[in-house]
Amino acid sequence: MGIAPWRWLFALCLRLLFLVPAGVPVRSGDAGFSKAMDNVTVRQGDSAILRCAVDSRVTRVAWLNRSTILYTGNDKWSIDPRVVLLSNTQSQYSIEIQNVDSYDEGAYTCSVQTDNQPKTSRVHLIVQVPPRITEISSNIAVNEGSNVSLVCMATGKPEPVINWRYLSPKARGFVSEDEYLQIIGITKEQSGQYECSAANDVSAPDVRRVKVTVNYPPYILETLNIGAPLGHQGVLRCDALAVPAAEFKWYKEDKRLSESRRGVKVENSENFSRVTFFNVSEQDYGNYTCVATNGLGQSNASIILFEIFQSTSSPLLQEETTAALTPLKGRAGASCLVFGKTRVGSVLELHLP
């Protein structure tokens, strides 16, 4: 008749009572028996090897984790497939814990039965955990002048050091050596990517980024007045910085420039507007106003389209220009000079007595 499972388990537990850590702890002065390692430090995901030195006097051995029996001799008690027996010889009794995790950390006991009495030796398993950012602020958009608070939380063992850095060519060093980053009265120049780094030397730092968008009203960059000959092409350009992107409008005096006007083309993009006159007429010359607008405000600038005089290579005009610099004789025989200026085919003469 077979033995009931609970009776077999009870009998086996009785046989192992002498192996639990109620025995005499091994001391450094105990001759003939070496204690187990003081501690073992491994990185999360690696394997930990626990060794216990034994000798010929040892009759029974076991490894325990707290109150759980892992191995007794060659018999495995642990149901964890990561725990395996490495060696059971007359000199060493060792086990391996594969793919170690943080919950494996703690005290492990090597218990042995000698000819005289049971002895125990304890080793502490320390599991180092790489840094991992568990919480970080989302990308945000704020108006210029607002206060901004960013947070970055991380776990790891040892406890990771957290740093904030502004990713800008002008930025130097860290902007915060803490989980929290406070920016008081943010400016448009502080818009961009902010990087959180968590490091504890166990592995490479964990790095995450937050994008901060700063909204601000349009700011028109320096403009230039443009000259164009009559009947030729003339181009006015207006550049503006703004977040959100600006909407552009053009005015001549107080009348808005129509994009459908014949011979005129208006082109708008996110940061500039351009007006092209394909055949400049006398009516096109004058003062134009560029207005850039978004939800936060507007900015305007004045640009003048003025007439420039086109030079010519006409032989007749060249002769007139040359003659204009030739000394002439007046009625009384006094010398005079003729100065000439070309304006689209005309010659202006000035006679000096």
Structure token pair of residue 13: 């537990």
H-assigned helices in the chain:
5-16, 315-324
**What secondary structure does DSSP assign to 98-166, as a single string?**
-S--GGG-EEEEEEEE-SS-EEEEEEEEEEEEEEEEEEEPPPEEEETT--EEEEEEEEEESPPEEEEEE
Residues of the chain within CATH 2.60.40.10 domain(s) are 16-128, 137-214, 221-307
Angstrom distance (rounded) from CA 75 to CA 107: 21
Angstrom distance (rounded) from CA 287 to CA 17: 103
pLDDT score of 37: 59
pLDDT score of 115: 76
The alpha carbon dihedral of 310, 313, 315, 319 has a sign of positive
Report the amino acid identity of residue 39: N
pLDDT in tens, 192-211: 999 999 999 899 999 999 99
Pairing of strands 118-136, 192-199: unpaired
The pLDDT-based confidence of 187 (bands split at 50, 70, 90) is very high
Right CATH for 16-128 from 3.40.50.720, 3.40.1350.10, 2.60.40.10, 3.40.640.10: 2.60.40.10
Q: Cα(first)–Cα(last) distance of the chain, in Å?
A: 150
Angstrom distance (rounded) from CA 341 to CA 327: 16
Regarding the domain delimited by 137-214, which CATH topology (the fold level of the hierarchy) does it fall under?
Answer: Immunoglobulin-like (2.60.40)
pLDDT in tens, 233-277: 999 999 999 999 999 999 998 899 887 778 899 999 989 999 999
Task: Spell out a b/e string for 269-285, using b for 16 or more CB atoms within 10 Å of the CB, else e.
Answer: eebbbbbebeebeeebb
Question: How many residues belong to the chain?
Answer: 353
The pLDDT-based confidence of 321 (bands split at 50, 70, 90) is very low
CATH superfamily of this structure's domain 221-307:
Immunoglobulins (2.60.40.10)
The pLDDT-based confidence of 2 (bands split at 50, 70, 90) is very low
